């Protein structure tokens, strides 16, 4: 019978209609619990009680999301708080504030805050890749948790998912980014320590993957002839021809700006995106010729190699590798846009007997010298100017000697 009575009461509540004479219609259920029916037909549970000789009302929830039995349970909990000398309304406010406080310190929120700060002067593509990695492999598992409550096992469980998908390098990168977020949180008083420190060695070391490159002169010569015969947009053709001559990072080549290039001085000066250091690329006569030829097309804009769909943006990140694929090259095993750097480094040292220190400086690698000095943009500049012309002449020579 109790169940039938309760079911009948619930049916009664379900069938309650708003009053035609009043905007609010109240129905007492018992024990201080009542339901308010608004003019729009919505029904809301409330608990009326006295605390410190004052009448209070506690909102419990909306029917039918909060059913009758649930509403009665909430009344019982509130009555227990009153007996303990706690105002149920104050307890609810404190719980809500604590919940929002935790959300404000959630891992995802702090991670996005870190990204906005950390990537301020870094490439957009690097930021997007890092955030995408966190969004796919980290946020779904620990994103909503307060960062101060996340443990090393929590993080490990998350990064082991890409590892189980044979994406070991992705797992390492996700773990690295997670550690950076934790260190940011520690620095800003939102976490006590970086728990990822406890995960050193938890993932197996990834196999070192070298960028595909060609280092045999005969293979390089064949590639250069293929580039000369490539038919694409004039922008991509020009970028392909310039890439082996300057051997900069692909991102730096596609973002080359006319404001950074001095054709009269035969120099290209820019800020290295990876190390945030100023760099100088001496331009060979062959490089100047290519830039002079494309200047009428893009010289009025910002970027040397304009985007195909939007001239205000640089050439697509995938343009060079896509062109190499069209020429029949495997960008996984033979050559990539980044591979021109390894090609130059190897041949300049092994074939042209250039001092490795000079080569490394031209590659903008921050390798300390014997005195501990870091990379200096002007160091070996005279020797680098000679080397860059010698390199361009060498490429011309092997290309024509079949």
Q: Decide if 249 is catalytic.
A: yes
Q: Which of 254, 338, 361, 384 is catalytic?
A: 338
With 0-12 / 13-18 / 19 or more C-beta atoms within 10 angstroms meaning exposed / middle / buried, residue 68 is buried
CA–CA distances in Å: residue 354 to residues 218, 346, 379: 20, 10, 15
Radius of gyration of the chain (CA): 33
Q: Does the active-site annotation cover 365?
A: yes
Active site (annotated) includes residue 341: yes
Catalytic residue among 341, 345, 361, 384: 341
Nearest to 203 by CA among 170, 251, 226, 252: 170
Catalytically annotated residue among 249, 254, 255, 345: 249
Angle at 277 between CA 368 and CA 346, to 5 degrees: 60
Question: Do residues 298 and 258 make contact, with C-beta atoms less than 8 angstroms apart?
Answer: yes
> Which of 72, 102, 172, 365 is an active site residue?
365
Phi and psi angles of residue 269, each rounded to the nearest 5 degrees, phi first: -115, 130
Residue of 225, 274, 289, 385 with catalytic role: 274
Catalytic positions are 249, 274, 338, 341, 365, 375
């Amino acid at each position: 019978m109790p169940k039938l009575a309760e079911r009948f009461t619930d049916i009664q509540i379900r069938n309650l209609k708003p009053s035609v004479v009043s905007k609010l219609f109240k129905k007492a259920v018992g024990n201080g619990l009542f339901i308010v029916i608004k003019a729009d037909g919505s029904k809301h549970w409330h608990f009326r009680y006295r605390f410190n000789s004052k009448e209070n009302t506690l909102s419990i929830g909306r029917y039918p999301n909060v059913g009758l039995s649930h509403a009665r349970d909430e009344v019982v909990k509130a009555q227990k708080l009153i007996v303990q000398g706690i105002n149920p309304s104050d307890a609810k406010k404190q719980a809500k504030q604590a919940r929002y406080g935790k959300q404000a310190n959630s891992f995802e929120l702090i991670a996005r805050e870190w990204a906005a700060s950390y990537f301020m002067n870094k490439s957009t593509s690097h930021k997007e890749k890092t955030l995408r990695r966190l969004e796919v492999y980290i946020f779904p598992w620990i994103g909503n948790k307060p960062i101060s409550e996340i443990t090393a096992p929590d993080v490990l469980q998350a990064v082991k998912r890409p590892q189980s998908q044979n994406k070991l390098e992705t797992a390492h990168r996700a773990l690295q980014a997670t550690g950076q977020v934790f260190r940011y949180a520690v620095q800003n008083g939102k976490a006590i320590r970086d728990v990822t420190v406890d995960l050193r060695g938890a993932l197996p070391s990834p196999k070192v993957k070298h960028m595909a490159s060609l280092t045999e002169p005969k293979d390089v010569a064949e590639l250069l002839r293929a580039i000369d015969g490539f038919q694409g947009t004039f922008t991509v053709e020009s970028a392909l021809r310039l890439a082996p001559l300057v051997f900069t990072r692909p991102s730096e080549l596609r973002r080359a700006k006319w404001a950074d290039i001095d054709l009269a001085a035969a120099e290209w000066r820019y800020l290295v995106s990876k190390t945030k250091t100023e760099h100088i690329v001496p331009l060979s006569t062959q490089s100047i010729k290519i830039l002079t030829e494309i200047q009428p097309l893009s010289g009025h804009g910002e970027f040397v190699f304009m985007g195909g769909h939007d001239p205000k943006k640089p050439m697509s990140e995938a343009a060079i590798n896509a062109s190499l694929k069209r020429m029949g090259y495997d960008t996984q095993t033979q050559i990539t846009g980044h591979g021109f750097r390894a090609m130059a480094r190897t041949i300049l040292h092994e074939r042209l007997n250039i001092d490795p220190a000079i080569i490394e400086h031209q590659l903008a690698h921050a390798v300390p010298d014997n005195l501990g000095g870091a990379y200096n943009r002007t160091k070996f500049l005279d020797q680098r100017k000679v080397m860059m012309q010698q390199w361009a002449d060498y490429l011309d020579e092997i290309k024509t000697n079949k």
